[in-house]
Chain A
Amino acid sequence: MSFLTSIDEVLPDSRRSFLGKSGLLLSGAAVALLAGQDALAAKGGAASDEDVRILNTALGAELEAIAAYQLGAESGLLQKPALDLAVTFQGHHKEHADVLAKTIAKLGGKPVAAKDKYAFPTDKLKSQADVLRFAAMLEKGAVSAYLGAVPLFGNRDLAKAAAGILGDEAMHWAILRNALGEAPVPSAFVS
């Protein structure tokens, strides 16, 4: 039994809901935006609706990360230098979010907006270590999320640029683990 045969047995409407991968072909400049390299704009390349959806999901997660670091910074639980780390990493997430939003708009999509309110497990954040562990969990998840997104991009320049963000998230995760007294790089591979 093929995968598609088996999936159709339980997901009868899945194919009908297919939205297609055609349509958005304005990727050149947007890829350059995301990659931070204007020279790429001349190369062109095709991005799909799915690429835009992936970018928007990533943007949603980045906006939540910004809010999470804000919560941590304002919690009164973080002392220097951990507080400086949080503010620096929040700044990186702001840069990610900014370029993701611009790229989505350039591709003809509508960037998701930050939520008015995010749910965070504040009842479990009682110490600096709790906050750092929570941030590390988010960063580890972000590494996995980007790792799972990179192979899906139709536009390989977008994949490369997303991998660049992945690397940044991985460094955040390692530094936060180090700040917690844990092995900063626990294994040879991420998943």
Chain B
Amino acid sequence: MRAFVLSFVFAVGILPAAARTPSSEIKAGEAIYTRCLACHALSYDRTGPRHCGLFGRRAGSVPGFAYSDAMKNSNITWNRKTLDLFLANPTKAIPGTSMGYAGVTDGKERAALIAYLGYANDSAECKKQQ
């Protein structure tokens, strides 16, 4: 339970960055994030859109990024639940997405990846963009 609470706290960014030490789950998530680095970066757009500002953002809404119509019309907002569902099988979750990737099929790995994204969104690199 404590681990869940801590990961939730990290993921939603309740603790100030200075008080946060990456957990083993977040470190595992950072390693998993390297799979995304052909197309994504935290703070700038590449083949895929930036991940800073991800939580609470409407899908397909980063200004200037050329999304697929499927993503623009998906009518979802990114949070832990929608990310978990999308990352499990992107092309099934949003048919027509440009993210032609089979997904992170292991639930624990997805949880770690999402925890890392939450942690990273509270990093100095992402804070600079706000």
Residue positions of A touching B, CB distance < 8 A: 3-4, 6-7, 10-19, 49-50, 53-54, 56-58, 60-61, 64, 118-119, 121, 137-138, 140-145, 148-152, 191
**Residues of chain A with a CB closer than 8 A to B35's CB:** 141, 144-145, 148, 191
When the two chains form their complex, are residues A152 and B91 in contact, meaning their CB atoms are under 8 A apart?
yes
User: Within 8 Å of chain A (Cβ to Cβ): is B102?
Assistant: yes
Q: How far is the CA of A69 from the CA of B85 in the complex (A)?
A: 35
When the two chains form their complex, are residues A54 and B100 in contact, meaning their CB atoms are under 8 A apart?
yes
**Residues of chain B with a CB closer than 8 A to A142's CB:** 38
**Residues of chain B with a CB closer than 8 A to A50's CB:** 91, 95-96, 100
When the two chains form their complex, are residues A19 and B74 in contact, meaning their CB atoms are under 8 A apart?
no
A148 partner, pick from B93, B97, B98, B103, beta carbons under 8 A: B103
When the two chains form their complex, are residues B102 and A151 in contact, meaning their CB atoms are under 8 A apart?
yes
- Name 16 interchain pairs, CB-CB below 8 A, sorted by A: A10-B76, A18-B70, A19-B69, A19-B70, A19-B95, A50-B96, A50-B100, A53-B97, A60-B47, A61-B47, A118-B46, A121-B41, A121-B44, A144-B37, A144-B38, A149-B100
Closest Cβ of chain B to A27, distance in Å, is: 16
Chain B contact residues, majority secondary structure: loop
When the two chains form their complex, are residues B74 and A148 in contact, meaning their CB atoms are under 8 A apart?
no
Q: How far is the CA of A168 from the CA of B89 in the complex (A)?
A: 26
| B69 closest partner in A (C-beta) | A17
Closest Cβ of chain B to A149, distance in Å, is: 5
B70 partner, pick from A17, A56, A60, beta carbons under 8 A: A17
Q: How far is the CA of A129 from the CA of B76 in the complex (A)?
A: 41
When the two chains form their complex, are residues A13 and B74 in contact, meaning their CB atoms are under 8 A apart?
yes
**Residues of chain A with a CB closer than 8 A to B73's CB:** 13, 16-17
When the two chains form their complex, are residues B45 and A119 in contact, meaning their CB atoms are under 8 A apart?
yes
Q: A11-B94, A119-B45, A138-B38 are in contact. Are A3 and B88 (CB under 8 A)?
A: yes
Tell me the B80-130 residues at the A interface (CB within 8 Å). Answer: 81-82, 85-86, 88-89, 91-103
B37 partner, pick from A118, A137, A149, beta carbons under 8 A: A137
Q: A14-B95, A19-B95 are in contact. Are A61 and B39 (CB under 8 A)?
A: yes
